[in-house]
Structure formats: C-alpha cells, structure tokens
Amino acid sequence: MAEQSLSLILGGVRSGKSRHAEALIEAHPSAWRYLATAQPLDEEMAERIAAHQARRSAGWITVEAPLDLAGALAEAPDGQPVLIDCLTIWLSNVMLAGRDPEAEADRLAAALARPRGPWIAVANEVGLGVIPDNALARRFCDAAGRLNQAIAATADHVVLMVAGQALRVR
C-alpha cells in the first residue's frame, strides 16, 4: 500500500472486514488513527464497540466521528495511517440525523479522493441480499450502494471479504 493511498474493504456482516483493515493499517508505523462511526445506542452495539476497542493494540488513536467523517479526515495529520470503520454505519447515522445522504456522501467521497496517508475505509456490501420490503430500507440500500461505488471509483485498492478471506477486486 502506497503512502498516499485509499483502500476500500467491503463485505457482509462478520466477514472479517475490520480485522483485515486493522492488520493492513498495523503494517505501517504507529500511531494509527481509528475514525469510529458507531454509537452505542443499544446494549448490543455497545458490546460490539467494546469488542473492537479491546482487540486494538496501544498504538491506536480513536476519534469518534459518527457524522462528520470529512471533517475528521481533514484533521488527520499528513502521512498518518487512518482507518474508517465503517462507512455503512456512518451513512445510517447521516440518514437518521435527517441530513441529505447524497450531499454528505459527495462531501466524504471528495475528501477520500485525496488521501494524505495510507487510508482504509470499511463498508458493508448490502446489495447481495433480497430487496428490502420497506421504503426506508430500500432508500438506505440504494444510498449505500451509490456510496460504495463512489468510493471504489477513486480507491487504489478494493477488497471484498468473504468468510474471512480477502478477495482482491482491484
């Protein structure tokens, strides 16, 4: 991975996306910046967040960025390895906050198109299942698909995780 590059790690739930992304970032010298998008809105999510935090080593700097990922990227020092986990939760946060997901996604895609270090973004591939039965879920899946396509279009590397295995897309 080049010093100024963007990698997109896609996959389903529990496919190994985060672990793979963490291992790629940890191949660089620390300190590594972790842009966390999840919010502990229920007990199960709080447990997921705690598990992610517990497995990270001491070299990580965690920045909570549930809504302003572009701003958090702007604050990252040049050359610092950055992991964004995850774009899909961020998109959900944006939609639940009543913000325009297309405008926010465009803003984020513009920031990610100019990496100032080795940057890795994690996202769920939500388009492999059945079409959701309600309008909000369909709107979310459509927005997530468009976001993933926009980020993948400018990414230097794209990886699809399947059952813990990394499949190089580009």
Which two three-digit tokens encode residue 144?
Answer: 């997530």
Counting Cβ atoms within 10 Å, is residue 44 exposed (0-12), middle (13-18) or buried (19+)?
exposed
Based on the residue annotation, tell me whether 52 is a catalytic residue of this protein.
yes
Here the tokens at position 41 are 């809105």
The answer for residues whose C-beta is within 8 angstroms of residue 127's C-beta and 6 or more apart is 141, 144, 145
Max CA distance (Å), the chain? 46
With beta carbons less than 8 A apart as the criterion, state whether 80 and 42 touch: no
159 within 8 A of 9, measured Cβ to Cβ = yes
How big is the CA angle at 62 (ends 113 and 14), to the nearest 5 degrees?
75
Q: Which of 20, 28, 52, 157 is catalytic?
A: 52
Which positions are catalytic?
52
